[in-house]
Amino acid sequence: MARVLLLFFSLLSLFAYAHSTEPFCFFRPPKGWQRGEFPKSCRQVRVLFALPKSEGFQPSIGLAVEPVHVSLSEYLKKVREIHEKEKGSQWRALGKVHTAAGQAQLTQIDSPSEWGLVRMLQLILVKEEAVYVVTAAALKEEFSQFYKPFQEAFRSLTLTEDLFQVVDQMERRERLKEKREGVLALAEGGVLEALLKKAVWKEFAKEVDEASSELGSHWQFLALKEAQEEFLHRGGTMQPQKL
Amino acid sequence: MRRCILLLMLFSFVAPLAADGLDEYKEDADNLYRTGSGAEEGAFTAISTSMLGWGIGLSLGIAILASVLHQSSSSHAHTTTSSTTGQ
């Protein structure tokens, strides 16, 4: 009996220390849109892409990820309460959208600003104790120009544990893995600053760039960032160590 | 000896669960006030992106103007000095 209890508790101890990792989430932003800055206080925002403009309101599309323990309908109720508290804002549910990550809910918010009435579309996907919110925004009077690229971005919303698994061609997938391993082989004692100037990194970045013609610049950003983070995780450092 | 090991294993199991329990409580408490924050931050970011752009543009504009004014006042002072001293 004691042995059984001993085995039982030792197994449970292992489970108590188990950790889960967040899957990669990306969408395909409109072509030519650049990654933009956003307030650091918005800790749930992962990325933002904006149309470069010298003046006026800048159309943008961004992704936020929030851990939740509620259903989609409960989340929508909360979101409606939040948006309707803003003076002059109008919120409404538009219906379901089928994305690569699953079925999501589309909502619309019209909100006044210094530039005029801003229209935002928020795509909300709840999956495995997390909510993924893609927010597309433009001036209401200009919104029709961006409706199609916004719809394409929404439909492309993807969740994956492996960034290379979503690459269609097997040969390209294999080349990407090979180039990535070539980069990571330099991790032990390597310096990230120096790595980025080496041919091995440039070859990997070139391969990622070619794949991004199909998957978009958000996927490209994630693939490069993941390789750099893994390089640091496997023993690389940001800058040369002072002796 | 077996009892000691059993107690140790029991403690190692309970301690992280207790910590997880507290974390879960905190998360639940946070969620009462923060559910929807992802959507809220997404909307806030969309509006503030343009404001950030304007802010940076305005700062640059002021810096350039200040630099031009400073250069202009320096050259004017030089001209005035030479006109009073060079007769």
User: What does the pLDDT look like over A15-74, one tens digit per residue?
Assistant: 444 444 789 999 999 999 999 888 888 899 999 999 988 788 999 999 999 999 999 999
pLDDT of residue A132: 97
Say whether pLDDT at A166 is over 80. yes
Three-state SS for A146? helix
Say if residue A169's pLDDT is above 90: yes
Asked if A17 reaches chain B (Cβ–Cβ under 8 Å), the answer is yes
Q: Which range has the worst mean pLDDT, A38-47, A123-132, A217-226?
A: A38-47
**What angle (nearest 5°) sits at the alpha carbon of residue A96, between those of residues A78 and A155?**
110
What 8-state DSSP symbol labels residue A55? Answer: S
Q: Are the beta carbons of A29 and A137 closer than 8 angstroms?
A: no
Place of tokens 């801003």: A118
Q: Residue B3: its pLDDT value, please?
A: 78
ipTM for the whole complex:
0.82
Instruction: List chain B residues with CB under 8 Å of A66.
Output: 35, 37-39
pLDDT for res A181:
96
CB contact under 8 A, A75 and B35: yes
pLDDT over 80 (residue A235): yes
Selecting from B3, B39, B47 the residue whose C-beta is nearest the C-beta of A82 gives B39
Partner-chain residue, chosen from B3, B27, B45, that has the shortest CB–CB distance to A62: B45
The average pLDDT across B36-48 equals 92
Number of H helices, E strands in chain A: 7, 9
Residues A114, A117, A118: CA angle, nearest 5 degrees: 95
Interchain pair A57, B50: CB under 8 A:
yes
Q: What is the pLDDT of residues A128-160, one digit of tens each?
A: 999 999 999 999 999 999 999 999 999 999 999
Instruction: Among A10-14, A87-91, A96-100, name the most confident range.
Output: A96-100
Binned at pLDDT 50, 70 and 90, residue A187 comes out as very high
Nearest chain B Cα distance for residue A123, angstroms: 9
Residues of B in contact with A90 (CB under 8 A): none
Which residues of chain A from 30 to 89 reach within 8 Å of chain B, CB to CB? 36-39, 42-45, 48, 50, 53, 56-58, 60, 62-70, 74-75, 78-79, 81-83
Grade residue B84 by pLDDT with cuts at 50, 70 and 90: very low
- Check: CB of residue B38 under 8 Å from CB of residue A67: no
Average pLDDT of the residues of chain A: 90
Distance (Å, whole) CA B42 – CA A152 = 19
Which of A13, A43, A124 minimises the CB distance to B39?
A: A124
* pLDDT over threshold 50, residue B86: no
Position B61 scores a pLDDT of 56
Residues of A in contact with B28 (CB under 8 A): 69
pTM metric for this prediction: 0.74
What's chain A's Rg over C-alpha atoms?
22
